[in-house]
Amino acid sequence: MGCSGASVISSPRETKLDNKMENVKNEELNKKFKEAELCLNELEIIRSSLVDKRDELIYNTGACCRKDPNLEKIIMSFLWILGVNSKGNFSKYQLYFNQGQDPYFSIAYKEDEEKKISEDINDYIKNLFDFEDSIKTNTEHYNNILSDFNNNEIKYRELVTGSDLEIYQRNIVKIRKISQINLINIIKDIYSVDMEFIDKFPEEMGNDNFSKEINSIGLKSGEKGYKDKYEIVFYNSNSEDRYMNSPKDGKNLYKNKIGHKKKK
């Protein structure tokens, strides 16, 4: 199953889109800018619901200690932690995964933190299903808007003068920022990779060895004294799948990405 590097981008707080378009003294351009603003607003909703939420889950499940974290690694890292918390009795959690309707992902037995993470995973999967049409529509719409402004730049610039030219340029910068931060490809990559995993995950759950593997990880981690979730994920990952050299490396990377302050 493929892994996506799409989640490794700058902090969501740094990439939050400034979508407000300013008016110029030309109605044709104002209509185009308004159309662009509406599209950028939709892309910001998608970005927040997928990119931001995914990064939060990567951090909260310890999946940040693995290379190219995606939904597969988020869920498996979370299940490894449950295996440790249950002391090798993973079946008590009664893992539930349903492709057809909400809840898509849940566990029956849960402490407060486990409950919150399982609910956040479910919400993220729900977003993937809910935004399927919106991703296609708005990414195509954005590409058309960008092409229009790029292909007609000379024509449109001739429609504005003086201070309006500065406003026009500021609006264009906001429109082009989506392309500059590669947001369209990031969204598409996240969606395709994570939906691929969703299609296959129930089959993996049905394997008799699935729970045995989680239980084994739980017992082994307990014997070695791994209690911190970042240690659990890092040391149970294959060496080639570990991010950098210690659990702290991935933890600190995503702590900064999602806006957590470092402890002194």
Is residue 6 in a domain? no
**Angle (nearest 5°) at CA 127 between 122 and 133:** 145
Is residue 139 in a domain? yes
> Residue 144: which residues within 8 A CB-CB, separation 6 or more?
none
Instruction: State the Cα–Cα distance between residues 148 and 39, nearest whole angstrom.
Output: 14
Collapsed DSSP state (helix, strand, coil) of residue 97: strand
pLDDT value of position 4:
40
Instruction: State the Cα–Cα distance between residues 219 and 42, nearest whole angstrom.
Output: 46
Is residue 15 in a domain? no
Is residue 11 in a domain? no
Is residue 262 in a domain? no
The runs of H, that is alpha helices, within 67-182 are 71-85, 112-130, 132-151, 153-157, 163-180
How many structural domains comprise the chain? 1
Tokens representing 15 are 């990439």
Residue 106 parent element (H or E): strand 105-106
Collapsed DSSP state (helix, strand, coil) of residue 223: helix
Beta-carbon neighbour count of residue 63 at 10 Å? 30
Instruction: State the Cα–Cα distance between residues 94 and 109, nearest whole angstrom.
Output: 7
pLDDT value of position 221:
96
Is residue 1 in a domain? no
Per residue in 28-67, pLDDT tens? 999 999 999 999 999 999 999 999 999 999 999 999 999 9
pLDDT value of position 206:
65
Q: Residue 79 belongs to what domain range?
A: 25-257
Is residue 10 in a domain? no
**Dihedrals phi, psi of 97, to nearest 5 degrees:** -135, 120
| Regions of the chain short of the pLDDT cut 70 | 1-15, 206, 260-264
Is residue 8 in a domain? no
